[in-house]
Amino acid sequence: MSVAFDDERYEPAADDEIVTLLDRRSAESDIRQALKDAGDAGEMGVVNVVATWVGLTKANGGEANSREVAARLGVSHTTVQRALRSFAQRLRGL
């Protein structure tokens, strides 16, 4: 089952950044390492957001957006965006 695209909910600047990092160019091992590092640092919010993002993207067969992730986790989309930016910085450092 796929979630329909909704122009009003799509936020390209924040969502595209993480999509770019999580696309085929990012090695799965790098993503796992960045998630492990975030967990080791006690950043469970980041881990939950990224895991949910990846899960929704796989389930939908297409890119999830921050509002979908926020709705699934019961947090604001700005909380999701902050977590994704934090993860992006961690992933870039690998």
6 lies in some domain: no
Task: Look at residue 1 and tell me if it is in a domain.
Answer: no
Query: What is the mean predicted confidence (pLDDT) over 45-74?
Result: 91
7 within a domain of the structure (yes/no): no
Domain count of the fold of the chain: 1
The answer as to whether 34 is a domain residue is yes
**Higher-scoring residue by pLDDT: 20, 4:** 20
pTM of the entire predicted model:
0.73
d(CA 62, CA 41): 30
- Per-residue pLDDT at 15: 60
Q: How confident is the model at residue 42 (pLDDT cuts 50, 70, 90)?
A: very high
Q: Residue 73 domain-assigned?
A: yes
Higher pLDDT, 17 or 56: 56
What lies within 8 Å, CB to CB, of 57 at 6+ separation is 22, 63, 64
**Residue 11 binned pLDDT confidence (cut-offs 50, 70, 90):** very low
Q: Establish if 22 belongs to a structural domain.
A: yes
In a domain, 5, yes or no: no
